[in-house]
Chains A and B, each alone.
Chain A
Amino acid sequence: MGRLNVELCGIELANPVIPASGTFGYGYEYAALYDINCLGTFSFKGTTKEPRFGNPTPRIAEGYSGMLNAVGLQNPGVAKVKSEELPRLKQCFHKPVIANISGFSLDEYVYTCAQLDEEEQVGWLEVNISCPNVHGGGMSFGTDPACAAEVVKAVKTVVKKPVIIKLSPNVTDIVSIAKACEDAGADAISLINTMMGMRIDLKTRKPVLANTTGGLSGPAVFPVALRMVYQVSKAVSVPVIGIGGISTAENVIEMMLAGASAVEVGAANIVNPYACRDIIQSLPAVMDRYGINTLKEIIGGAH
């Protein structure tokens, strides 16, 4: 076992660094730039039952130390992900991957999860009940503990792979939702998805994003994400994946001290395609600087 190894629901990861869904496509744009097998794993583009165009453009706006996106879950639909994207991914990534799934009804979540559960390449199912950029689905399942639990229960009855529930920060009490998911059988919790925000163009006096609002990510949200990971990981016993503004090895360590067993890196990939590789490469030296022997030993160290 290496110093960077961590475990996620019974599967060993060579390191805790996981590109977050929606920032890494289905992997191969990055595989053209570096060997993505250096990653712990990655969470592929949010997949739905039917193909989706997503929202009109502009879908991207800038924030201070961060960005807003309102892509709206553009994806080719689960059938094409199985028939085209996963075979293509197999050529460049040889580890179990996280399948990220979204839906607009309980039936859609169940269908898409069952479809991807069958895939040998898929190690985990990350169920997104927190997308702020779609209407009548996504986040509406993740803002109420009972609804969140209902999704978990429904999905758990049809799949064999570990189920990670991805939570929204756009709630008053994220801990109660995390606990409801754990009680309903979730194998892990990932948080946070983006925080809802918006920008207005002073010249046009109109919102920059065609969708009006979008999800804020990047270093700006890191302290919020860290606080939520800290609170949730203290309250649940399943593993927690920390997400939100991570862009350095120091951020990874801080997030693990807050209680994360692994981390997802999102916006950092957008501005530097080599961000995850660079973070992994710098982890050992940063661990040395802080007297950390193995990453496993620091999980929840700040509790």
Chain B
Amino acid sequence: MVKGSFVITENTPVAAGIHRLTLRAPGKLSILPGQFASISIPGFFLRRPFSVCDADDGSLTVMYRTVGAGTEALTSQAVGSTLDVMAGLGNGYDLTLAGNAPLLIGGGMGCTPLLLTAKALLAKGVKPYAVLGFSSKDDVILADELSALGCKVAVATVDGSFGTKGFVTDILPREFSYFYSCGPEAMYRAIVKATDLPGQFSFEERMGCGFGACMGCTKKTVNGFRRVCKDGPVFAREELQWED
């Protein structure tokens, strides 16, 4: 974990109500795909956790939707100003299980960690296939970026305004080696029903600390109580209990 004062190099709208925020670290960074960063927004007590969308050894990018007063305030933070950031939090996706045909499944803002995941998989020599789901055309993010990397990308929108009308589970390929998913829990339930293949899910929860101390984000798993922030946010399919 790295904590420090990061400089904003970009904070721009990229889709309806969605901003891309890029921050330059005060030193070296080492971020794993699926990890998150916890950002302190001036005027707000608790940090906000965001999946890291992209990163290199000196900067990271997150995407955020304005959902409340905190993220609203974040939109007005100017390029050149600094934010207190804790980066490199959580476990991230285990890419050693990818196999030769991994599938990335993203739902809405949950697409964000899949860009860095795709880059890491490509660096390992495997080309992932990405299926992304959104409510509507205006919400689509990262489809172009994933295509530009050379990934095959399929998009579904609930209202049919872009790609296939429906959900990610309507456009799943028949065969893949392993999946890496991030999105709402309803999507995870649909994935579990739609395929028997193995994979990992990244979870979201209201967090206190973000580093495993406060027990604010505990989840019941087959391995007992696990902290989404520290033991997750990524959990393997077989670790999870799918109670209704």
Q: Tell me which of A45, A69, A208, A273 contacts B216 (CB under 8 A).
A: A69
Q: Is the CB of B225 within 8 A of A74?
A: yes
Which among B45, B214, B216 has the greatest number of chain A C-beta atoms within 10 A? B214
**Known contacts A53-B220, A60-B206, A74-B218; is-contact A23 B213 (Cβ 8 Å):** yes
Q: Is the CB of A71 within 8 A of B44?
A: no
Contacts of B207 in A (CB 8 A): 60
A1 at the interface (CB under 8 A from B): no
Q: Is the CB of B215 within 8 A of A54?
A: yes
B217 at the interface (CB under 8 A from A): yes
Q: How far is the CA of A57 from the CA of B213 in the complex (A)?
A: 16
Within the complex, what minimum Cβ distance (angstroms) separates B205 from chain A? 6
Residue of chain A at shortest CB distance from B214: A270
Q: Which B residues from 30 to 66 make CB contacts under 8 A with A?
A: 40, 44-47
Contacts of B214 in A (CB 8 A): 22-23, 25, 60, 69, 71, 270
Contacts of B152 in A (CB 8 A): none
B211 at the interface (CB under 8 A from A): yes
Residue of chain A at shortest CB distance from B38: A271
Residue of chain B at shortest CB distance from A33: B1
Q: Give the A interface residue count (CB, 8 A).
A: 34
Q: Is the CB of B45 within 8 A of A67?
A: yes
Q: How far is the CA of A155 from the CA of B152 in the complex (A)?
A: 66
Q: How far is the CA of A53 from the CA of B40 in the complex (A)?
A: 29
**Known contacts A59-B206, A60-B206; is-contact A29 B211 (Cβ 8 Å):** yes
Q: Tell me which of B1, B45, B70, B216 contacts A59 (CB under 8 A).
A: B216
Q: How far is the CA of A64 from the CA of B70 in the complex (A)?
A: 12
B108 at the interface (CB under 8 A from A): no
A63 at the interface (CB under 8 A from B): yes
Instruction: Decide if the interface of chain A is mainly helix, strand, loop or mixed.
Output: loop
Q: Is the CB of A274 within 8 A of B3?
A: yes
Q: Is the CB of A271 within 8 A of B45?
A: yes
A293 at the interface (CB under 8 A from B): no
Q: Tell me which of A33, A58, A63, A269 contacts B206 (CB under 8 A).
A: A58
Within the complex, what minimum Cβ distance (angstroms) separates B88 from chain A? 12
Contacts of B187 in A (CB 8 A): none
Residue of chain B at shortest CB distance from A58: B206
Within the complex, what minimum Cβ distance (angstroms) separates A165 from chain B? 23
Contacts of A219 in B (CB 8 A): 45
Residue of chain A at shortest CB distance from B217: A57
Q: Is the CB of B213 within 8 A of A271?
A: no
Q: Is the CB of B209 within 8 A of A53?
A: no
Contacts of A273 in B (CB 8 A): 3, 86, 209, 211, 213
Contact flags (1/0) for B6-48 with A, using CB distance below 8 Å? Answer: 0000000000000000000000000000000000100011110
Contacts of A29 in B (CB 8 A): 211-213, 230
Q: How far is the CA of A77 from the CA of B46 in the complex (A)?
A: 29
Residue of chain B at shortest CB distance from A64: B45
Q: Is the CB of B218 within 8 A of A60?
A: no
Which among B40, B86, B215, B217 has the greatest number of chain A C-beta atoms within 10 A? B215
A185 at the interface (CB under 8 A from B): no
Which among A54, A218, A270 has the greatest number of chain B C-beta atoms within 10 A? A270
Contacts of A272 in B (CB 8 A): 3
Q: Is the CB of B215 within 8 A of A270?
A: no
B198 at the interface (CB under 8 A from A): no
Interface positions of A (Cβ within 8 A of B) = 22-25, 29-30, 33, 45, 53-54, 57-67, 69, 71, 74, 208, 218-219, 267, 269-274
Interface positions of B (Cβ within 8 A of A) = 1, 3, 40, 44-47, 70, 86, 205-209, 211-220, 225, 230
Q: List 27 A-B contacts (CB under 8 A).
A: A24-B213, A25-B215, A30-B213, A54-B215, A57-B206, A57-B216, A57-B217, A57-B219, A58-B205, A58-B206, A59-B206, A59-B218, A60-B46, A60-B206, A61-B206, A62-B70, A67-B46, A69-B208, A71-B215, A71-B216, A269-B209, A270-B213, A271-B40, A271-B47, A273-B3, A273-B211, A273-B213
